[in-house]
Amino acid sequence: MHQQSLQQIPRLVVLLSGGGSNLQVLIDAIAAGAIVATIDLVISNKADAMGLVRAHKAGIETRVINHLDFGSREAFDRELMHAIDDKQPELIVLAGFMRVFTAQLTHHYNGRMLNIHPSLLPQFKGTNTHERAIEAEVDQHGASVHFVSSELDGGPVVLQALVPVLELDSPRVLAARVLVQEHIIYPIAIKWFCEGRLKLNNNAVLMDGHQLPVTGIPFQS
């Protein structure tokens, strides 16, 4: 394989609001050469997000854009878009960014923004997914990587990891089991995108030119 020049290496911008464990996994994967890309900027809407500390330790530029500083969701999203577009990234990676986007932003980054959600979409969109999975008494829970659309957690699914729900599970125990799988499947999907294998075309997910099923590719460890 020919070494990629700096101009050919995909640029990533990561958005987060909290601990940033998925950011750390991505940092580690890039450092190990498993993913050929650069993280050019990490943005958080919270100044105390642990993910910013992880980025600083890795020498990655950070920026805080506090949504509370803006009078509307549209104004916040415009500032976010300016910061992202300044880096001209090929891919925007959501790593626990707890904000709902306007349709203007999701349209602007259509096919270039990935998210990981802690459920088997379309089940349990939104928050408190682990509690809801236990209450619903489902046998299988998990995580989904999907392209971001204007519908909350409703974009086309790329890859899903299946996690069994055990009889004595608490939401915290189940969440920890799901997070392990998030850390496996998110770098896989990002790697596929950076290699040009994963694309979104007319709202259909293509892998190596072939359309994936609506539920994406199942992954079971």
Ranges of each domain in the chain: 11-219
pLDDT in tens, the chain (221 residues): 444 444 589 999 999 999 999 999 999 999 999 999 999 999 999 999 999 999 999 999 999 999 999 999 999 999 999 999 999 999 999 999 999 999 999 999 999 999 999 999 999 999 999 999 999 999 999 999 999 999 999 999 999 999 999 999 999 999 999 999 999 999 999 999 999 999 999 999 999 999 999 888 998 66
Burial 123-146 (b: 16+ CB within 10 A, else e): bbeeeebbebbbeeebeebbbbbb
- How far, in Å, CA of 178 to CA of 16, rounded? 18
11-219: which CATH architecture?
Answer: 3-Layer(aba) Sandwich (3.40)
pTM of structure: 0.94
Whether 107 is catalytic is: no
Which residue in 108, 117, 130, 210 is the catalytic one? 117
